[in-house]
């Protein structure tokens, strides 16, 4: 990651261009509202324009001179301009209406920005378990002898039998509220990153 690479990144990467844009907060907030918080991955132009029009009205409300004076269609055209292709525009099967979705770079930017927010529950334990599971799997598949592999499987079997017996004895082994929220946050984070990876492959 040398000077030339970083200079090129600053000049050409869409995510950095958006970070430096004058309307960064408006654009990024809209993308999160439409494509993230409402779980819309690919939306028709009419729906995007309707939501953008409402969004701009809310932002301009209370100002004598609107902060964002252009029409929703004009801003949407800006989002798909050749030099700032924040959204991918394409046509669906047998449809004359354009469809819009986030480009991989902007998808990653939203994921990164979301990660900057202070979270009520930090999924440290979940991350540690993922690392330990991967290390254990790597050792099992590469370094252990057949005898050690059998011993490892026997230990897992004993642990499962112990859980079964605990359930039969009516012990509650289910997650508490904190653990449920922690796991759910980790699932959301991993799902978002995976979706971004898939879109980058397709793009």
What's the pLDDT at 129?
75
pLDDT band with cut points at 50, 70 and 90 for residue 170: confident
Rounded to an integer, the average pLDDT of 77-89 is 86
- Judged against a pLDDT cut of 80, whether residue 34 lies above it is answered with yes
What's the pLDDT at 119?
57
Report the run of H or E that residue 121 belongs to, with start and end.
none
Inter-axis angle of helices 72-79 and 45-60, nearest 10:
110
Helix or strand or coil: residue 136? helix
Residues of the chain above pLDDT 90, percent: 32
The Cα–Cα gap between 159 and 166 comes to: 11
Rounded to an integer, the average pLDDT of 12-34 is 92
Beta bridge partners of 89: 100
Length of the chain: 203
Q: What is the pLDDT of residues 41-61, one digit of tens each?
A: 789 999 999 999 999 999 999
| Contact between residue 100 and residue 89 where contact means Cβ atoms under 8 Å apart | yes
The Cα–Cα gap between 9 and 18 comes to: 12
The Cα–Cα gap between 113 and 46 comes to: 27
What's the pLDDT at 177?
72
Which residues, 6+ apart, have CB-to-CB distance to 97 below 8 Å?
44, 45, 46, 91
Q: What is the pTM of this model?
A: 0.63
| Domains in the chain, CATH or no CATH each | 3-117 (1.10.10), 124-193 (no CATH)
Number of Cβ within a 10 Å radius of residue 84: 14
96-127 burial, b for 16+ CB within 10 Å, e for fewer?
Answer: eebbbbbbbbbbbbbeeeeeeeeeebebeebe
The Cα–Cα gap between 155 and 161 comes to: 10
Q: What is the pLDDT of residues 117-145, one digit of tens each?
A: 655 555 566 667 777 888 888 877 787 78
What's the pLDDT at 38?
64
More confident: 191 or 35: 35
């Amino acid at each position: 990651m040398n000077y030339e690479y970083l200079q090129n990144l600053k000049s050409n990467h869409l995510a950095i261009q958006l970070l430096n844009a004058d309307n960064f907060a408006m654009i990024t907030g809209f993308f999160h509202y439409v494509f993230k918080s409402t779980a819309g991955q690919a939306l028709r132009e009419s729906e995007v324009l309707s939501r953008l029009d409402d969004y701009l009205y809310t932002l301009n409300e209370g100002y004598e001179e609107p902060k964002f004076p252009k029409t929703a269609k004009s801003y949407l055209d800006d989002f798909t301009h050749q030099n700032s292709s924040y959204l991918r525009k394409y046509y669906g099967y047998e449809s004359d209406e354009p469809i819009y979705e986030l480009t991989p770079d902007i998808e990653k930017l939203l994921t990164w920005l979301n990660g900057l927010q202070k979270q009520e529950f930090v999924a440290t334990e979940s991350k540690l378990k993922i690392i330990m599971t991967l290390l254990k799997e790597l050792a099992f598949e590469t370094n252990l002898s057949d005898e050690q592999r059998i011993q490892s499987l026997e230990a897992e079997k004993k642990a499962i039998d112990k859980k079964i017996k605990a359930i039969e004895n009516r012990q509650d082994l289910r997650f508490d509220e904190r653990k449920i929220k922690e796991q759910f946050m980790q699932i959301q984070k991993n799902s978002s990153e995976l979706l971004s990876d898939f879109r980058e492959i397709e793009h």
